[in-house]
Amino acid sequence: MEQVLRPIYQERASFPETLGVILVEKRGKEDPITDTFDVILLIITADDEIPVFTKHYTDGNEKAAMHIISEKQLRKWLVLGSKRKVVDWLYYGKVYFDRNEFVEKLRTELQEYPFCGRDIKMGLEFSKLVRGYMEGKKFFEEGNYMDAYHHVVKSLHHLARLAVIENGLFPEVTVWSQVKKIDPAIYKLYEELIMSEEPLEKRLELLFLASEFFIHNRTADGARHIRDVMATQELWTIQELHEHEGIRMYSIDLEVFIEFLIDKGFILVVQSDSKNELIFHRDYKVV
């Protein structure tokens, strides 16, 4: 299949906007990293008119997928962590074309992880951790243990990714393998949740106690990015926060996160007059 694809990636490499061409081969039968395809051809381009363009190929026996991704879209995915398999492709794929060492520099950037980027990433993961914890605890208090379990597993995954980022690394698809080496306490917590023979209610109860400790110890770091942005002006409406380029990435987790940080004393609520004398506007500022 690689030989069949050669003319395609050679043609793409000749385009001036092409920054890099990476070939990723599957590691085993029906490998989810390659979406069950035998080969992934990842082409990174400076042209952002079409953020993602995909084509599928076959030589009659094997199948391949070509993804042309704009640099802008790729970096957005890397910040949001929404396409974890792409990190795997960047790390372990074979580089067939690298204009001005773009791919090599990107790999180095992912490994060294600039501090500013790390703050954004930590904020996003921490906000998801908080939401998962709060939703899980609510279900737990209502006696809906299976629903609580679902949210707790999600929140633990975000805690694991947060621990990896704290150590200056980029969360890979095999994040729990990373965490086992980096933070055994978090790995042990996850192991106890899914493998313990204790009743589910007891496992969840212990998990919530431990989660409170982990969240408390990470709140200052997890809130750093959003507080740094908010410090650039005196007051913010919730709409201004939703529209800010750096904060709107928090998406549906933003308002829960804001309320959590208010409760913890990191953000203050400021009331201001509205047209209705019986009600006030609710604005926000950092402490």
Domain map of the chain by residue range? Answer: 2-111, 113-222, 223-287
Q: Is residue 22 scored above 90 in pLDDT?
A: yes
What are the residues whose beta carbons fall under 8 Å from the beta carbon of 245, sequence distance 6 or more? none
User: In this structure, what are the phi and psi dihedrals at residue 64, rounded to the nearest 5 degrees?
Assistant: -140, 150
Q: Does domain 223-287 have CATH number 3.30.200.20?
A: no
Q: Does domain 2-111 have CATH number 3.40.50.620?
A: no
45: nearest Cα among 102, 2, 84, 93:
102
CA distance 142 to 209: 17
User: 82-91, 176-185, 248-257 — which is least confidently predicted?
Assistant: 82-91
Helix/strand number for the chain, H first, E second: 12, 7
The predicted pLDDT at position 109 comes to: 81
- Provide the token pair at 96: 């067939």
Dihedral sign for Cα atoms in the order 68, 74, 80, 81: positive
Query: Residue holding tokens 């703050």?
Result: 119
- Provide the token pair at 134: 């709060």
The predicted pLDDT at position 110 comes to: 78
The predicted pLDDT at position 3 comes to: 84
- Summarised one tens digit per residue, pLDDT across range 108-126 is 887 765 455 788 889 999 9
12: nearest Cα among 27, 22, 2, 24:
22
> Is residue 144 classed exposed, middle or buried when 0-12, 13-18 and 19+ CB atoms within 10 A define those classes?
middle
- Summarised one tens digit per residue, pLDDT across range 155-174 is 999 999 999 988 888 787 78
Average model confidence (pLDDT) across the chain? 91
Percent of the chain whose pLDDT exceeds 90: 73
Average pLDDT over residues 62-81: 90
CA distance 33 to 172: 11
Topology agreement, domain 2-111 and domain 113-222? no
CA distance 264 to 115: 24
- Provide the token pair at 279: 């009600």
Count of alpha carbons within 13 Å of 12, Cβ hemisphere only?
26
User: 10-14, 70-74, 81-85, 165-169 — which is least confidently predicted?
Assistant: 81-85
CA distance 41 to 96: 10
Q: Is residue 275 scored above 70 in pLDDT?
A: yes
Residues 267, 222 contacting (CB under 8 angstroms): no
CA distance 109 to 189: 31
Q: Is residue 76 scored above 90 in pLDDT?
A: no
CA distance 100 to 10: 16
The predicted pLDDT at position 113 comes to: 59
CA distance 98 to 87: 17
Strand pairing class (94-98; 63-70): unpaired
CATH number of 113-222: 1.20.120.330
User: In this structure, what are the phi and psi dihedrals at residue 199, rounded to the nearest 5 degrees?
Assistant: -60, 150
The predicted pLDDT at position 30 comes to: 67
- Provide the token pair at 257: 């996160």
